[in-house]
Structure 1
């Protein structure tokens, strides 16, 4: 279904909210989701929609307008919040102090100390260790046979993050457990308790490494100076916490949702396993197709017009990433997984100033994990129903019980 690009009449006041609540996590689990989103987009690529916690927002459903918003940080600011959930009229903790909640030029300044560790060069340096760890994780899972794939993939990003932070050996088991609780906990209470333990630990490490720096991400952030001044300790901790959240959640949920797609389309699994489809383009296609970071929030800094609608200063604009990445005006056969899709200018990892700083490392981890599974596993058989989480921030699965059937012979890739 083609999306009309004809301008819509300017509204004289707030438009009535659309009946579909895009902030309801249950919507994104519906089997008819593609048809629902296509109908909404056809009705208008920008619509006034209601949310459960944040009041009415302007929802962007088309690819071209999503790009317009994400690239224009001067008009659509991150400082009022980058994700739904803070509540109508509330400013999130860390606004103006965290990478995710700042605009250029401040945003660039905060990214700078972390970039060497998360850049393509940093990811290449870490790749051999990530590959070895992935194979160990998969080998253990294959030996067990029946596993929960969520539990299989989760240790990889957690361990890689501990390496980046150079967590001391004696603290690793505790930090992995705390991170597991903070980011992968099954309930909000578990996640909150994990953060309450992680934040003080990070603060302690920041203070230690400010006095005795090493070659690691904590030390770099702790000793970095902007205009000759060290960042406040609280700001360093907030940004480290933000990096850990993004690094753990993006890899975990994309891996599991990508595997779910491959299990449901065994022909694609075999194309990857045989080498008929290359991992690089396939990985970008799975990122596009899953779009686990379902949305990005911005706040208008001035009166403007978007998709034919008047957007008033202070109003919230939400780019629905999944909808943009499944727009037929931008992607041929958007609801199909096309492993060799090219070009593939998806926005699953953001765009513009806020393009995911950890994208190279995340792709390295995902590639290593998928490759290890393809090497060792002939096929994956579900042994029970999947259980979706209740998140529109990092949409994915809480449970994915399967049986891993080993390949009789596997080759190194």
Structure 2
């Protein structure tokens, strides 16, 4: 089989599953060639992916966490931005960033999620026929913008600009990121002087111990790059899970009937299956810090290792009938949010949004009909539907 996980067409055509399955069964530790680069290792088994997530000392994030990382950009934020920082510094930053999404913030978060999901789903049902991605992208964007206290008139622009920073060419991506950094800089200056109960204010007021043991607040740069990270994580993943779940409900109406009968417990298991099924965070990259081996294959210090979450979440040794969408699947120890120190800081928020979406959908919709062909993006980093024409009755 021809193996090229960097081929955009493989992802746009939704054909990567068979490639990952072949690797999982035949070469679970695979040396992937790379045009103009040194190549990288591909890990496709659940156990190997968990192994990489679980050893931050051996598999480092500080040199980049995706295949197309810009080394200079990574070096500029290493030690300051969660996703490219190793423990113990990662742990210190995570604790402070997490305060804005933690237990104390839950009442505000839950109210925001309820309000936004109700508004968006009711609008989608009123429209009747629509591209569901137009609605799905609003929910996580509106919620995170609300939690950060961004002015309402900026919400649409923020969502569009964040999507551009993921999907555009390098030059346009840089420009989009620059605009978002400027917005967060202005907001942070305002919240330092006039703090509220929003995410930016909470993180700006929190204090941490740095490497010397001295207690201090996060710097402006640390707050800005991590606000960008939280915004990116919220916008680019939850929409893909929602739309993938809706597609399965449209294809199999019996799942909707089951959800109506199962009640809250059914929604909880369906959310986890939607996460496993969609797995929008496709690969994570780590750099090996010393010679080791994985599955009996020698891996040299300095090599880049990639762990492929969709393959792990379809590993037959862990999940029965992994190629079926099973809304009552249990147990369901998927890796859609990762595992270990880099477990997604927004996982609780994502689950709240997905559960609220299913509740509103079941309350307002009796039938979901596909009116066109689903289309997917071409990314091997964050992947999912970009178009899902439907009629909601």
Answer yes or no: is the 8 Å Cα contact 2:281–2:383 preserved in 1.
yes
1:275 is matched with: 262
1:213 is matched with: 195
> Equivalent residue of 2:311, what SS?
helix
What does residue range 336-347 of structure 1 map to in structure 2 within 5 Å?
336-347=324-335
Distance in 2 (CA, whole Å) between partners of 1:297 and 1:275 is 39
CA deviation after TM superposition for structure 1 residue 120, in Å: 5.3
Give 4+ residue runs of structure 1 displaced > 6 Å after superposition.
none
What does residue range 281-292 of structure 1 map to in structure 2 within 5 Å?
281-292=269-280
Determine which of 153, 159, 164 is the counterpart of 1:173.
153
1:238 is matched with: 225
Distance in 2 (CA, whole Å) between partners of 1:132 and 1:107 is 33
Distance in 2 (CA, whole Å) between partners of 1:161 and 1:172 is 11
Answer yes or no: is the 8 Å Cα contact 1:175–1:198 preserved in 2.
no
Answer yes or no: is the 8 Å Cα contact 2:267–2:355 preserved in 1.
yes
Distance in 1 (CA, whole Å) between partners of 2:162 and 2:216 is 31
User: Structure 2: any 5+ residue segments left out of the alignment?
Assistant: 209-213
1:197 is matched with: 179
**In the alignment, structure 1 residue 106 sits paired with structure 2 residue 94:** no
> Equivalent residue of 2:100, what SS?
helix
**In the alignment, structure 1 residue 296 sits paired with structure 2 residue 284:** yes
CA deviation after TM superposition for structure 1 residue 324, in Å: 0.6
Question: Per residue, is there more helix in 1 or in 2?
Answer: 2
User: Structure 1: any 5+ residue segments left out of the alignment?
Assistant: 1-17, 406-413
Determine which of 217, 241, 248 is the counterpart of 2:235.
248
**In the alignment, structure 1 residue 130 sits paired with structure 2 residue 113:** yes
> Equivalent residue of 2:69, what SS?
coil
Determine which of 48, 61, 70 is the counterpart of 1:65.
48
Answer yes or no: is the 8 Å Cα contact 2:241–2:275 preserved in 1.
yes
> Equivalent residue of 2:96, what SS?
coil
2:139 is matched with: 156
CA deviation after TM superposition for structure 1 residue 289, in Å: 1.3
Q: TM-score, normalised by structure 1?
A: 0.86
Q: 1:116 to 1:65 in 2, by over 3 A?
A: same
Which whole-Å deviations, capped at 9, do the CAs of 1:293-325 have from their partners, x for residues lacking one? 111111111111111111111111100000011
> How many residue pairs get matched?
385
Q: 1:357 to 1:173 in 2, by over 3 A?
A: same
| Further displaced range: 145-154 or 348-357 | 145-154
> Equivalent residue of 1:345, what SS?
coil
Distance in 2 (CA, whole Å) between partners of 1:326 and 1:290 is 11
1:373 is matched with: 361
| Further displaced range: 25-34 or 258-267 | 25-34
Q: 1:337 to 1:46 in 2, by over 3 A?
A: same
Determine which of 225, 240, 244 is the counterpart of 1:257.
244
Q: 1:117 to 1:355 in 2, by over 3 A?
A: same
Distance in 2 (CA, whole Å) between partners of 1:290 and 1:386 is 14
Answer yes or no: is the 8 Å Cα contact 1:293–1:321 preserved in 2.
yes
Which whole-Å deviations, capped at 9, do the CAs of 1:28-56 have from their partners, x for residues lacking one? 45566444322211112111113457541
| Further displaced range: 187-196 or 256-265 | 187-196
Answer yes or no: is the 8 Å Cα contact 1:179–1:198 preserved in 2.
no
CA deviation after TM superposition for structure 1 residue 92, in Å: 5.5
Distance in 1 (CA, whole Å) between partners of 2:144 and 2:72 is 34
Distance in 1 (CA, whole Å) between partners of 2:125 and 2:100 is 32
| Further displaced range: 45-54 or 309-318 | 45-54
Distance in 2 (CA, whole Å) between partners of 1:208 and 1:31 is 44
Distance in 1 (CA, whole Å) between partners of 2:367 and 2:136 is 16
Answer yes or no: is the 8 Å Cα contact 2:29–2:295 preserved in 1.
yes
Q: 1:257 to 1:177 in 2, by over 3 A?
A: same
